[in-house]
């Protein structure tokens, strides 16, 4: 691949992250959330109570990040951490009622953001997009074993 194409792609990915994150930040700010925290709330909504190691895996970020995120969300009263009875090292993380209510609001914003994001694209492209992005992600994911032929986990 020639440099111009490569550069266009890499730069486009970098700018998309910056802008999408910034837009998410401006939408989440009125709820008192910083971008990244919404992912934790939504994961708990999807999967239910889980320990931090599972959150770390699900969110794709490292344990120390989870420590900080959970601490702040706990301080805000949105989640609760209770020692796991079966494993005294682990904490079970779960949503409080306030957290559940907040997650519902986040869901609304999330839909609005997604619609805003794909505005002007043909429906066909929009339908393919998550699969394409997951393929890209899998291709550069140094965490997992590798996902070699991955034409999309759609």
Partner DNA sequence: GCATAATAGTTATGCGCATAACTAATCTGT
Partner DNA sequence: ACAGATTAGTTATGCGCATAACTATTATGC
Contacts with DNA, residue ranges (CB under 7 A): 18, 22, 34-37, 39, 51-53, 56, 60-72, 81, 84, 87-91
The one of a copy of itself, DNA, none whose footprint includes residue 37, by CB under 5 to 8 A per kind, is DNA
Report DSSP letters for 33-91, one per residue.
--TTHHHHHHHHHHH-SEEHHHHHHHHT--HHHHHHHHHHHHHTTSEEEEE-SS-TT-E
Q: CA of 147: how far to CAs of 22, 130, 150, in Å?
A: 30, 16, 6
Residue 139 binding result from DNA, a copy of itself, none, given CB thresholds of 5 to 8 Å by partner type: a copy of itself
Binding residues for a copy of itself, total number by CB under 8 A: 60
State whether residue 144 is helix, strand or coil: coil
Both tokens assigned to 58: 């699900």
The two tokens of residue 44 are 């708990």
68 binds, among a copy of itself, DNA, none (CB under 5 to 8 A by kind): DNA
| Binder of residue 11, out of DNA, a copy of itself, none (CB less than 5 to 8 A by kind) | a copy of itself
Q: Which stretch binds a copy of itself (CB under 8 A): 48-56, 77-85, 87-95, 110-118?
A: 110-118
DSSP type of residue 120: T
Site for a copy of itself contains 13 (CB under 8 A): yes
Could you identify the residue written with the tokens 């420590």? 67
Position 110 contacts a copy of itself (CB under 8 A):
yes
**Residues whose CB falls within 8 Å of the CB of residue 115, separated by 6 or more in sequence, listed in order:** none
- Which one of 21, 34, 67, 83 is in contact with a copy of itself (CB under 8 A)? 21
Query: Given the rule CB under 8 A, which residues bind a copy of itself?
Result: 1-3, 5-24, 26, 39, 42, 60-61, 107, 110-111, 113-121, 125, 128-130, 132-137, 139-143, 148-152
């Amino acid at each position: 691949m020639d440099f111009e194409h490569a550069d266009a792609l890499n730069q486009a990915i970098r700018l998309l992250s910056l802008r999408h994150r910034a837009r998410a930040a401006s939408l989440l700010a009125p709820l008192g959330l910083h971008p990244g925290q919404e992912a934790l709330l939504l994961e708990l909504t999807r999967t239910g109570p889980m320990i931090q190691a599972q959150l770390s895996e699900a969110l794709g970020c490292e344990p120390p990040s989870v420590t900080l995120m959970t601490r702040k969300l706990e301080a805000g009263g949105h989640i609760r951490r209770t020692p796991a009875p079966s494993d005294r090292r682990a904490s079970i993380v779960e949503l409080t009622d306030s957290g559940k209510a907040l997650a519902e609001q986040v869901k609304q914003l999330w839909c609005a953001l997604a619609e805003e994001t794909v505005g002007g694209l043909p429906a066909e492209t929009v339908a393919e997009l998550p699969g394409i992005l997951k393929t890209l992600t899998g291709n550069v994911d140094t965490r997992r074993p590798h996902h070699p032929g991955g034409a999309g986990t759609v």
